[in-house]
């Protein structure tokens, strides 16, 4: 019997997540992922006007607000058989692209990088050597004086006894491998990214009205008619160019530089072999041709076409009454247990259901999208992936790992950023030629059903709606974190994160940095406190991380 470690709550994520692992001989032998907060939005929607759903569902999260609104309007549009105008498609693509760029930059630098970068070590770095390193790896090299100024700022934090945003990390952990100069370079770019992400988020407000919770999406198109003018398009384009420049000249070089010191993680965190991608960024109004294609990978790099009829949700190990046969989302039931909600890994242990595709538990997210695009021989993706693998001198097997998951997020940011340039040009051309249509009229049917799929920063997002008497009869949301962080199903199949953690080496059970690396690679987000329990002594280790 191994030693059990419980991390509750996981930090640097959005929401409340508990991860429990059993460690034996220095490695994770078994793992359990438990969502600690009930959502229930689906229950609130019953009986409401279908057009209200977009405003409710985007409140499911304070980060991914736009993408829930998009999936919701797509679901109603599918039920009403609506094809939106080209300008609406272009603006929606641009806003989705903003979400990707913003989220991926924030994830790499502010949520995940500190699992690999030892901030305190950067105080020992030589600024001259750091400048030379930056010149070798970055497309935007900085001077020794610049790095000295960053180092002085960090030293001020340390001397005052406060590391500010870097407080309470696992500094000095033996799993950190970067030299001091690489740590200093990464720390400086962490601070740069803090400033940039605020500007990138502004792009949502330009065509969306505000951020978070943009208000420009409606069933049938968009409402930002007055914003589609040369000045606003140029304003959007200016920030996009700055963000794209940072991604290509700082984010990707940093990603490759950090990865070069952690090649062993190309063989950790990849036990789950199935991958699912809904695809995103329609290149035609019918939504058949996508910049990031859809598909399902059962194993290896053999891709199958997506069939939404094969999606089910299992609630056997979740705190719900409906524990019968797995249900398709159209027939999904959200009926929480009214009492006896107890955490028991042998029985029920999570508020998250267990989604399955063809009975399997596929991973969703950037890695899934990149693998599907790579398997479908998308040239842009293949060139980026092959070029990165060559720089790191590793094979394609390294993609199926925690390291591959982290790298894929950066690589798709490049592809999407370039796609945004095409959509900006097309939107500008349409407006200049007098094509300003942004909305398609429609009639709400008495009875219908539809679904809206979206490939969002954290993975495959789907909304399913049943309409009766022009109101919502049933509504189900199957979100990326449900796919990735779901529990074991009724057939004993573990969820993707649970599977990914098995085999992970643990150097220090009191500081489970390695567990955080794999969990964070899936991009849950927001910080709190971590408690680690030693079952041998019953001692509780209280550890704060950022």
Enumerate the active-site residues: 14, 61, 64, 68, 458, 481, 525, 528
CA dihedral 85, 442, 463, 200 (to 10 degrees): 40
The Cα 368–Cα 271 span in angstroms is: 14
Cis (ω within 30 of 0) for the bond into 9? Answer: yes
Q: CB–CB of 438/224 below 8 Å?
A: yes
Residues in Cβ contact with 342 at an 8 Å cutoff, skipping those fewer than 6 apart: 348
Beta bridge partners of 30: 22
HSE of 495, CA atoms in CB hemisphere, 13 A = 32
DSSP state of 510: T
Q: Can you give 250-262 as a three-state secondary structure string?
A: HHHHHHHHHHCCC
* Nearest one of 374, 454, 453, 469 to 412, comparing CA atoms: 374
Give the length of the chain: 546
- Residue the block writes with tokens 């994830």: 107
Instruction: Return the number of other C-beta atoms located less than 10 Å from residue 428's C-beta.
Output: 18
d(CA 106, CA 185): 17
């Amino acid at each position: 019997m191994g030693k059990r470690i419980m991390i509750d709550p996981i930090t640097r994520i959005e929401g409340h997540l508990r991860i429990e692992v059993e460690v034996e001989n220095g490695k994770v032998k078994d793992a359990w992922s438990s969502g600690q907060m009930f959502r229930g939005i689906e229950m609130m929607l019953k009986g409401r006007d279908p057009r209200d759903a977009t405003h409710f569902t985007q409140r499911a999260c304070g980060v991914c607000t736009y993408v829930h609104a998009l999936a919701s309007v797509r679901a109603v549009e599918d039920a009403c058989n609506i094809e939106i105008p080209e300008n609406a498609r272009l603006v929606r693509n641009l806003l989705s692209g903003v979400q990707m760029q913003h989220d991926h930059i924030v994830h790499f630098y502010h949520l995940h990088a500190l699992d690999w970068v030892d901030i305190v070590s950067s105080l020992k770095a030589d600024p001259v050597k750091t400048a030379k390193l930056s010149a070798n790896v970055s497309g935007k090299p900085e001077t020794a004086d610049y790095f000295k100024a960053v180092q002085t700022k960090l030293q001020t934090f340390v001397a005052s006894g406060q590391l500010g945003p870097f407080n309470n990390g696992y500094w000095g952990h033996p799993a950190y491998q970067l030299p001091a100069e690489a740590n200093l370079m990464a720390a400086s770019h962490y601070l740069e990214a803090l400033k940039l992400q605020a500007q990138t988020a502004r792009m949502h407000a330009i065509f969306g009205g505000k951020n978070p919770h943009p208000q420009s999406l409606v069933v049938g198109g968009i409402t930002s008619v007055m914003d589609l003018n040369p000045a606003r398009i140029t304003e959007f384009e200016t920030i996009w160019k700055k963000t794209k420049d940072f991604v290509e000249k700082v984010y990707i070089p940093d990603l490759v530089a950090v990865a070069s010191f952690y090649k062993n993680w190309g063989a950790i965190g990849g036990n789950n072999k199935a991958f699912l991608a809904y695809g995103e960024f329609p290149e035609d109004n019918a939504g058949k041709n996508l910049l990031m294609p859809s598909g399902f990978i059962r194993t290896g790099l053999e891709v199958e076409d997506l069939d939404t009829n094969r999606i089910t949700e299992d609630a056997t190990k979740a705190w719900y009454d409906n524990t019968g046969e797995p249900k398709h989302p159209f027939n999904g039931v959200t009926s929480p247990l009214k009492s006896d909600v107890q955490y028991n890994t042998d029985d029920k242990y999570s508020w998250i259901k267990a989604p399955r595709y063809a009975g399997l538990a596929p991973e969703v997210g950037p890695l899934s999208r990149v693998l599907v695009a790579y398997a479908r021989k998308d040239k842009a993706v293949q060139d980026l992936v092959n070029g990165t693998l060559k720089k790191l001198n590793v094979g394609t097997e390294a993609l199926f790992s925690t390291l591959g998951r982290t790298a894929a997020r950066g690589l798709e940011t490049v592809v999407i950023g370039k796609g945004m340039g095409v959509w900006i040009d097309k939107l500008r051309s349409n407006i200049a030629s007098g094509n300003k249509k942004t909305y398609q009229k429609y009639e709400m049917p008495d009875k219908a059903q539809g679904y809206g799929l979206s490939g969002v920063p954290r993975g495959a997002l789907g909304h399913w709606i049943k309409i009766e008497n022009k109101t919502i009869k049933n509504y189900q949301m199957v979100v990326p974190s449900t796919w990735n962080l779901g529990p074991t199903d009724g057939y004993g199949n573990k969820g993707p994160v649970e599977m990914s953690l098995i085999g992970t080496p643990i150097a220090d059970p009191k500081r489970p940095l390695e567990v955080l690396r794999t969990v964070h690679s899936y991009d849950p987000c927001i910080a709190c406190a971590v408690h680690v329990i030693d079952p041998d002594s019953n001692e509780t280790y209280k550890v704060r991380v950022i």
